[in-house]
Structure 1
Amino acid sequence: MSWPAPSGAYRRLVDPLARGVDVRAEVVSVTPETTRAATVTLRPGAGWLPHRPGQWVSVGVDIDGVRHHRCYSITSLPHGHRPDGHRRADRGLLTITVQQVPDGIVSNHLVQRIRPGDVVHLDGPEGDFTLDPGPAPTTGADHPPTAPGRPLLFITGGSGITPVIGMLRALDSGADTAPDATLDDVVVVHHAPTDRESLFTDELDAMARRNRGLRVVHVRTGAGAPPPEMELNAGRLDDLCPDWRDREAWACGPRPMVEAVESLWSGPDHATTRALHVERFTPSIPDGLPEVEGTLTFRAAGVSVPSDGTRTVLDAAEDAGLSPLAGCRMGVCRRCVVPLHSGTVVDRRDGRIECEPGAHVQICVTAAVGDVEIEI
């Protein structure tokens, strides 16, 4: 290393977890969960803040010289607890459970190629998909007050179980969470294609045996899109959990499943009386968005790439070898906001068009329409 260099650069030769502009974490272990999923245990360095069960972390990994960021739910207990419910000295370990997705650069790397001793970059924790009580729906139904031991319902699909297992582990261990959340009256409805592809099955069943108030329903949907009889409508939910209308609920999983649950809680005909919390891994994208080819120019970097109008500005920037600041990748945290210099972009969540020079746009949910210059 030549002189001069930042003092932190020398320090990280000795301690790779030394604090720099981000929080670094060392990979401690990689534990297979299914043929397509693994739990990655991390030891964060200086600057990491404790999380609340259900929150997520943005993980940055360097692959072929390019840093890629993806968000993963934290599946470990809050610091200072262990699964048997006894407090212990904080070892400072953090776990995420990653399921491979087709052509997923980061998920495939974390499941298949990352090794103990490797270093990743963390940003977070973030998210409000937690056990904190939410507002009751405004459907005209009576709204009973939130009470200790409130009845809870978790509806999950695939890797959507990951934020929920963090919450359930916390409740099972006695970790400090929301003061009125317990396992006294909890129903978990988890969807997965097959037994082999279902995450945490044995742990959930063991947890239910320890806690008489916890009921776990395993739903097997089969390969591909679920058949019509598996549609998550009011009738089917009546069969799975007859009192679902009077339970505070959390839903996380594939977009069709989450949207079906939302329609049940928002519809005036269903008279739900308690709040619904939703976590999405991808933003909802309406049909009919403009898709115009052009050139996307990152002005500060002096880089231009072709654009077909279907991919976000953030994805295009990362594929070009750039590392713009990003967090949730769903348009929630607003960490990726940058000024538009010229051209037109479309918000892929709702089709809103922005063409005002200097306007601040969220590049994780924005796509270029034709030729665009942006301040990256």
Structure 2
Amino acid sequence: MAWRFRVPRSLPWASVVNRLTSPLAVDDYLGMLDPLWSARHPAGRVTAVRREVPGAATLTIRLGRGWHGHRAGQYLPVGVELDGVRHWRTYSITSPSPPLGQGAGPGEVTFTVKAHADGRVSPHLVYRTGPGTVLRLGPAQGEFTLPDPLPDRILFITAGSGITPVMGMLRTLARCRRPVPDTVLLHSTPTPAECLFRAELASLEAASPWLRVRLTHTRHDGRLTPDRIAALCPDWRDRDTWACGPAALLDAAERQWAAADARDRLRVERFRLAPVLSHGEDAVGGRVRFARSGVEADAAAGTPLLAVGEAAGVPMPYGCRRGLCFGCLVPLVDGRVRDLRTGEPHGGPGELIQTCVNGAAGPLVLDL
């Protein structure tokens, strides 16, 4: 008879035992037994790999204790071990989120990867990753999501792999228990054979009176230009719009919506990081306490927490130092931080913080 040990999500005794096990925490030992038991270092185990179009695959991930849910349209930082080095990349989550208004996340998520010829991580995930593989995970991020309440009419404009975040939204709408908005999807790929989710989109359209799918293929139809968008969706000005794809498509969409004085109805997702911005004039820093190290330091509003810790002599995890790799994630124990790229404050107990792109927004405590 096999015995199974179930680790509770809430460990009220952990703070006491941590003092006895220092410098390691209870969570560190749990992670040694099974990576999915760690809350400080979230991980997931691949349970299935489905081949999509040539050179692309969808991975299904069973989630561990550290997962805090996602909203359809968000992206997922994924850490992959290659030759003893962990490489981080981000991929849009393609699985549906919980029904709007409900907070509990699913026990698994999916994300779809397209292998790049000159890439290192994406070919590994597509061609050499199988069921049972453990991947490190960062928290789901991004604001390219559906609002609550939903608008009356929706337009999705996508090209290539830009369909991936929108696919999560469509799957969420298909499961929605409330009235679903009248929705149009305009999607462009070079050829029909390169269209991700083509069969599922056709089935979803056939089963959903609220959805119209219009596929264009650049090698035959030309690009998805403003004129073509207007022809395929004449009431585009009156729809809340989400656009994701190559920069040229998104730049043209922004100009088109701005010229129609409808820019506030357009949401754009670009597959690149925004540059780090300076903090606002009214921003304040704060006193940072590194709980396990016992070190405290003052942090200016515009100084990344990574630099604050290193200057104070605290061993800080780090990677690219630009917010790309998620190698600097640290749990926030108390207080709030400010995203130095956007100026927005955020944070709550247990939230994983990218220390290289976040500064102090008042006094705070980090689990280091």
> Does the CA contact (< 8 Å) of 1:61 and 1:120 recur in 2?
yes
Report the equivalent of 2:211.
214
Q: Give the Cα separation in 2 of the matches to 1:160 and 1:19.
A: 32
1:112 matched to 2:127: yes
Report the equivalent of 1:238.
230
Scaled by the length of structure 2, the TM-score of the pair is: 0.66
Q: Give the Cα separation in 2 of the matches to 1:5 and 1:27.
A: 31
Q: Compared with structure 1, are the counterparts of its residues 231 and 200 closer, same or farther at alpha carbon in structure 2 (3 Å cutoff)?
A: closer
Counterpart among 258, 261, 276 of residue 266 in structure 2: 276
Residue aligned with 2:354, SS: coil
Q: Compared with structure 1, are the counterparts of its residues 236 and 43 closer, same or farther at alpha carbon in structure 2 (3 Å cutoff)?
A: same
Q: Which runs of 5+ in 1 are unaligned?
A: 82-86, 134-146, 286-297, 301-311, 340-358, 361-376
What fraction of aligned residue pairs are identical, expressed as a percent?
39
Residue type matched to 1:114 in 2? T
Superimposed CA distance per residue, residues 271-296 of structure 1 (whole angstroms, 9 cap, x where no aligned partner): 438611111112479xxxxxxxxxxx
Q: Give the Cα separation in 2 of the matches to 1:124 and 1:100.
A: 23
1:122 matched to 2:137: yes
Superimposed CA distance per residue, residues 129-186 of structure 1 (whole angstroms, 9 cap, x where no aligned partner): 11117xxxxxxxxxxxxx96511100001111111011110111126xxx7xx54411
Superimposed CA distance per residue, residues 245-285 of structure 1 (whole angstroms, 9 cap, x where no aligned partner): 11110000111111111111122xx2438611111112479
Counterpart among 233, 238, 242 of residue 250 in structure 1: 242
> Does the CA contact (< 8 Å) of 2:35 and 2:43 recur in 1?
yes
**More moved, 202-211 vs 3-12:** 3-12
Counterpart among 29, 33, 37 of residue 14 in structure 1: 33
- 1:233 Cα offset (Å): 3.8
> Does the CA contact (< 8 Å) of 1:232 and 1:260 recur in 2?
no
1:60 matched to 2:62: no
Report the equivalent of 2:111.
96
Q: Give the Cα separation in 2 of the matches to 1:9 and 1:155.
A: 44
Q: Give the Cα separation in 2 of the matches to 1:80 and 1:154.
A: 20
Residue aligned with 1:337, SS: coil
1:71 matched to 2:63: no
Q: Compared with structure 1, are the counterparts of its residues 166 and 243 closer, same or farther at alpha carbon in structure 2 (3 Å cutoff)?
A: same
> Does the CA contact (< 8 Å) of 2:69 and 2:106 recur in 1?
no
Q: Give the Cα separation in 2 of the matches to 1:106 and 1:186.
A: 34
Superimposed CA distance per residue, residues 194-242 of structure 1 (whole angstroms, 9 cap, x where no aligned partner): 11111111111111111122110011113xxxx9x83444322221111
Q: Give the Cα separation in 1 of the matches to 2:168 and 2:85.
A: 30
Residue type matched to 1:219 in 2? T
Q: Give the Cα separation in 2 of the matches to 1:49 and 1:186.
A: 29
Q: Compared with structure 1, are the counterparts of its residues 156 and 336 closer, same or farther at alpha carbon in structure 2 (3 Å cutoff)?
A: farther
Report 1:1-376 matches (<5 A).
6=24, 7-79=26-98, 92-132=107-147, 150-174=152-176, 183-222=180-219, 230-267=222-259, 270-272=260-262, 275-283=265-273, 314=321, 323-325=327-329, 335=354, 337=356
Q: Give the Cα separation in 2 of the matches to 1:266 and 1:202.
A: 34
Q: Give the Cα separation in 2 of the matches to 1:331 and 1:34.
A: 35
| Root mean square deviation, CA, Å | 3.8
Residue type matched to 2:184 in 1? V
- 1:120 Cα offset (Å): 0.7
**More moved, 160-169 vs 4-13:** 4-13
Q: Compared with structure 1, are the counterparts of its residues 256 and 52 closer, same or farther at alpha carbon in structure 2 (3 Å cutoff)?
A: same
Q: Give the Cα separation in 2 of the matches to 1:338 and 1:168.
A: 31
> Does the CA contact (< 8 Å) of 2:39 and 2:66 recur in 1?
no
Higher helix share: 2
> What is the aligned length?
280
> Does the CA contact (< 8 Å) of 1:232 and 1:261 recur in 2?
no
- 1:69 Cα offset (Å): 0.9
Scaled by the length of structure 1, the TM-score of the pair is: 0.65
Residue type matched to 2:271 in 1? F
> Does the CA contact (< 8 Å) of 2:39 and 2:67 recur in 1?
no
Q: Compared with structure 1, are the counterparts of its residues 76 and 264 closer, same or farther at alpha carbon in structure 2 (3 Å cutoff)?
A: same
Residue aligned with 1:186, SS: strand
Q: Give the Cα separation in 1 of the matches to 2:23 and 2:153.
A: 57
Residue aligned with 1:27, SS: strand
Q: Which runs of 5+ in 2 are unaligned?
A: 1-20, 276-306, 311-318, 331-339, 345-352, 361-368
Q: Give the Cα separation in 1 of the matches to 2:174 and 2:74.
A: 17
Residue type matched to 1:188 in 2? L
Q: Give the Cα separation in 1 of the matches to 2:247 and 2:176.
A: 32
- 1:313 Cα offset (Å): 5.3
Q: Give the Cα separation in 2 of the matches to 1:4 and 1:101.
A: 43
